[in-house]
A = this chain, B = another copy of it.
């Protein structure tokens, strides 16, 4: 258990979930001397559905993947992925270092045959529901073939998780220039157009939110910048709203009067409801929680893992790739 907040967030989220869902078994991977007191505190020591797997090391949030792979063989992050590899767990959920999680998952679980590079995929809010975006930071630069594979994986996962018949797949680009994006995006466009996907062509940054596309494909650099830009802007707007509604007694009364609407708005845009990014394209399910996730957000990441296990997403991707290659 790592992440910015570690076990004090992960353990209560896990205990809460196994109590709600009798069918759920969660393995808490980390230092027993940290986890056990938390379980005792929650009166969950010996709770059926909770198991403890010891790990003596923790990967720091700033550690380099190569170093961590070499030196942290008994980290909670690595042990959790080992459990998936060994079939003792059906999914790994981590709030830890994204780079190390991806590198370790890649090294231990390996990509699905036909997938060059796994990608990080997440839902983001959109009008009428949400849009799925990938890659969000695993691959800073991508070949056209890799972008095309992202489209395929995004389409399969979205179709499956949301019962969409033919998810609309768009390729992120800019619309201002005559050449409409660099050669790489042009080539990916050509490849995607030749697939059987419901490829709707180029989309721009503002199209992410209109509800007119289900999957937005981009490289990990652009995707990560777009995601962080969303987070930053949403936080700034939230802060400005709090400020405007707390300028003196009258404004605070206004906020009280408008509370139900403000609360509904807040719930609707709550980023915690979108916590839990999938590392798609691996022989196994790995879900990345935001490092700063609280209990509610981490709970959502675990539930994302549960859904992917129920749907057996890696098998779906492998089957679709096999079908395409025949």
Contact = CB atoms under 8 A, between A and B. Distances in A.
Interface of A: 64-66, 98-99, 103, 125-127, 137-138, 140-141, 172, 174, 176-179, 181-182, 204-210, 218, 220-222, 224-237, 239-241, 244-245, 247, 251, 254-255, 257-258, 260-262, 264-265, 268-269
A174 B138 CA distance: 10
A98 to B, nearest CB: 4
A127 B239 contact: yes
Contact of A221 (B222, B231, B241, B258): B222
Contacts of A258: 245, 254-255, 257-258, 261-262
Copies of chain A in the complex? 2
A140 B228 contact: no
B257 A232 contact: no
Contacts of A125: 236
A204 to B, nearest CB: 5
A2 to B, nearest CB: 14
Nearest to A218: B225
Given A205-B226, A209-B232, 7 more contacts: A140-B177, A140-B179, A140-B182, A205-B225, A225-B226, A245-B261, A247-B261
Contacts of A182: 140-141, 221
A177 B66 CA distance: 11
Nearest to A236: B209
Nearest to A66: B178
Contacts of A228: 174, 204-207
Contacts of A205: 224-232
B234 A210 contact: no
Nearest to A291: B176
Contact of A255 (B141, B209, B261): B261
Contact of A232 (B208, B232, B240, B245): B208
Nearest to A228: B205
Nearest to A136: B176
B140 A174 contact: yes
A200 B172 CA distance: 29
